[in-house]
Amino acid sequence: MELKDIKKIGPKRLEGLRKLNITDINDLVFYSPNYYEDRKTLVRVKDLDFDKKQLVHLKIVAGPARRKTANNMTMVSYNATDGERPVEIVFFNQSFAVSYFKKGLSYYIFGKPSIYNNRVSFSNPIFSQVKGKDLGVIVPIYPLNAAITNKILRDSIKVALDNFTDIKLLPDEIVKKYNFLSIKALLRMIHFPEDIEKANYAIKSMAYVEAFLLNVMKYSNFSFTKKSKGKVIRDTSEERDFLRWLPFLLTDGQKDAIVDIKRDLEADYSMNRLLQGDVGSGKTVVGQYMAIKTVAGGKQVAFMAPTTLLAVQNYEKLKTFADKFNMNCELLISKTKKKDKERIYEEVQNGNIDILVGTHSLLNEDINFKDLGSVIIDEQHRFGVNQRNNLIEKGNGTNVLVMSATPIPRSLSIILYGDMDISEIKTMPEGRQKIDTYVLTEKEMDSINGFVRRELQNGRQAYYVCPLIEESEKSDLNSATELYERLKDEFSGKNVALLTGRTGDEEKEKIMTDFKDGLIDVLVSTTVIEVGIDVPNATTIVIMNGERFGLAQLHQLRGRVGRGQFKSTCIIAHNAKNDETYARLKTIERSNDGFYIAMEDLKQRGPGEILGLRQSGAQKFKFLDFETDLNIVMRTKNDFDEYIKNASEAEVTELKNNAELLLGKIESGVLN
């Protein structure tokens, strides 16, 4: 059956359904309501809740009365009662309402009550003499558009459900374990519930189905290295000395992460762990600890970063400690000379290099480790799954730590990295300054530039960031170039530089190095600086067109400053056209907590962007709520881990294929 075969679904409504991302019968039956209206439970007038719609049973005692309002609207009113309290029923701009009711008869009235002239009033309510299709039932309310009414959608869903062939979306043992109803029965309960409790039960059941299938699809398409027999690295004096020699106190979060890693490395299985931490939370020192412990235990380490500058920064920090322990730490990047590369290849293979730090260069097929014990990957979201696995497979039973400075709500982390253990660093190191954040309009650029000028006069440096939008890369490049030209005049006598995605790798590296060394005062850039090196002297970042960025990205950009001893400021200059956008930006102003901001981003934009899921263009899941369903997400992970131990390939494939009816396909994104 196709959508066009449903009665009353013509070309105009087909287009309306398409705009709701409903393109076939499956989309229709899996379309989830926003909320429910209880048009079934009768309420006495004295017990009415004035914040929601309710059902009352009223007798008409007078009317109709007809008059014009002050703003020239036609008003038809009736007086009614439930036997205890008087009620006024009012219709606006419905002149034919004079024939709606007859005096002495009783009607079911559904609507939101208010107080008008010291009396309970219902405006333009739904009404009927008898309970039927629209009254006396629980009615789901769906997201709609001008072409599709709630009634049309419900009628269409009923036809679709009647013609829907039940499908298998859960393993038999899971169905038995939780006594799940069939998918068709759950869908019918969602769309045509007997009561609210059953509707909620069905939605939570389908949320479980959705979360379980995410595990299936992730396992099938993007599986990470599974835990296997690993290389046991016992307690060493070097790791204890490393912790003693640190010139600062570790935070509780860092200590907990180190305890996790120590336990994993000393176990007889390979470690597979995600380390999440906010910008500046001190993840690098945890990675350094893992590297030192691994080498002290007689194994080699590969430390991969997404950019040359980050690789160099990690190398310099690691080498300081490696030298103290007589460990050989080397750097391999694209511009490493050919003869040095050949030497590194040879020394890695014979075991003379203990720690190899680099970029994608570490993936070179000519690199063969003698005994690779641990892989550490910085800014993991910049690498694809295959790239990570290619590096991991250079060892046997390799321990893996991937680090991310992009906080993800724990529920999403469990789905994204369900086969990884997760450590979180939520506490910031002592002395790490709060970044003052201000949301201003671009009309205030004179004041913003004046603030930056004063910072420059004090010997500090500044970033200006312009958005980069895929649909209009050239346009945004021109805006960055335009801003660069303006700021050269604005800050005459200062060195202003431009950095965009079009800047060549060598030139990009030189610009960032010059900026770090203080040779550039103002860096105008697109979001290519989102992941960058530490520049302690940069104290101000101005983000242009802030309304074009997600909250998480704004927070990530803000983290480019506040890296040193000086007070730092983030200014978000915007052209927000509505209150909603402005309120979203104010979230950044209120908080420096990346995990809180990530959750707010999740609430506002849905998980689709983070997960890389595309669901006929939709961004949100149908039944799963990542804010409230963490317990469900965790339960499905545990259930899936048990299920997959004995599942056949054919069964997993069947579930995956059926899952696409509900979830759509998982395309390239963070998972890929």
**Coil, helix or strand for 628?**
coil
DSSP per residue over 578-600, as a string? Answer: SHHHHHHHHHHHH---HHHHHHH
Instruction: Name the one residue in this structure whose structure tokens are 């829907």.
Output: 164
Q: What is the pLDDT of residues 626-662, one digit of tens each?
A: 778 878 988 998 899 889 888 888 888 888 888 877 7
* Mean pLDDT rounded to a whole number for the chain: 86
- Integer Cα distance of 140 and 148 in angstroms: 14
pLDDT beyond 50 at 313: yes
Handedness of CA 478, 480, 483, 484 (dihedral sign): negative
- Stretch 459-475: mean pLDDT, rounded? 72
Closest CA to 164 of 142, 146, 139, 186: 186
Distance, C-alpha 655 to centroid of its chain: 25
**pLDDT of 118:** 86
pLDDT beyond 70 at 241: yes
Please, which pLDDT band fits residue 616 given cuts at 50, 70 and 90?
very low
543 pairs with which residues across the strands? 465, 572
What share of the chain in percent tops pLDDT 90?
48
| Residue 197: Cβ within 10 Å count | 10
**Coil, helix or strand for 476?**
helix
Closest CA to 55 of 155, 153, 131: 131
**pLDDT of 613:** 45
- Stretch 166-194: mean pLDDT, rounded? 94
Please, which pLDDT band fits residue 615 given cuts at 50, 70 and 90?
very low
Lowest model confidence (mean pLDDT) among 186-190, 226-230, 246-250, 307-311 = 226-230
Helices H / strands E in the chain, number of each:
22, 22
Lowest model confidence (mean pLDDT) among 42-56, 383-397, 510-524 = 383-397
- Integer Cα distance of 579 and 250 in angstroms: 42
**pLDDT of 469:** 42
**pLDDT of 562:** 85
Length of the chain in residues, anyone?
672
**pLDDT of 186:** 96
- Stretch 13-38: mean pLDDT, rounded? 90
**pLDDT of 668:** 32
- Stretch 329-344: mean pLDDT, rounded? 93
* Pairwise pLDDT comparison (395 vs 111), residue with the higher score: 111
Say if residues 127 and 108 touch (Cβ distance below 8 Å): yes
Say if residues 265 and 290 touch (Cβ distance below 8 Å): yes
pLDDT beyond 70 at 381: no
pLDDT beyond 50 at 217: yes
Please, which pLDDT band fits residue 229 given cuts at 50, 70 and 90?
low
Type of residue at 260: D
Q: What is the pLDDT of residues 116-139, one digit of tens each?
A: 888 999 999 999 998 877 788 999
- Integer Cα distance of 53 and 33 in angstroms: 17
Please, which pLDDT band fits residue 597 given cuts at 50, 70 and 90?
confident
- Integer Cα distance of 340 and 332 in angstroms: 9
**pLDDT of 604:** 67
Q: Read off the pTM.
A: 0.65
**pLDDT of 87:** 96
Peptide bond into 536 cis (omega under 30): no
Lowest model confidence (mean pLDDT) among 248-252, 275-279, 592-596, 603-607 = 603-607
Q: Which of 167-181, 406-420, 557-571 has the highest mean pLDDT?
A: 167-181
| Residue 362: Cβ within 10 Å count | 24
- Integer Cα distance of 7 and 179 in angstroms: 36
Closest CA to 375 of 255, 274, 228: 274
Type of residue at 178: Y
- Integer Cα distance of 603 and 625 in angstroms: 9
**Coil, helix or strand for 75?**
strand
pLDDT beyond 50 at 240: yes
Radius of gyration of the chain (CA): 31
- HSE-CB of 663 using CA atoms within 13 angstroms: 29
- HSE-CB of 89 using CA atoms within 13 angstroms: 32
- Stretch 161-185: mean pLDDT, rounded? 93
- HSE-CB of 281 using CA atoms within 13 angstroms: 29
Say if residues 366 and 332 touch (Cβ distance below 8 Å): no
What share of the chain in percent tops pLDDT 70?
89
Closest CA to 272 of 425, 419, 424: 419
- Integer Cα distance of 69 and 91 in angstroms: 12
- Integer Cα distance of 542 and 464 in angstroms: 5
- Integer Cα distance of 428 and 410 in angstroms: 18
Q: Which token pair is 111?
A: 């609507």
**pLDDT of 90:** 95
**pLDDT of 277:** 85
DSSP per residue over 150-213, as a string? Answer: HHHHHHHHHHHHHTPPP---S-HHHHHHHTPPPHHHHHHHHHS-SSHHHHHHHHHHHHHHHHHH
Q: What is the pLDDT of residues 151-160, one digit of tens each?
A: 999 999 999 9
Q: What is the pLDDT of residues 427-450, one digit of tens each?
A: 877 767 789 999 999 889 999 999
Instruction: Name the one residue in this structure whose structure tokens are 């260069």.
Output: 361
**DSSP code of 250?**
P
- Stretch 56-72: mean pLDDT, rounded? 91
Please, which pLDDT band fits residue 664 given cuts at 50, 70 and 90?
low
**pLDDT of 672:** 30
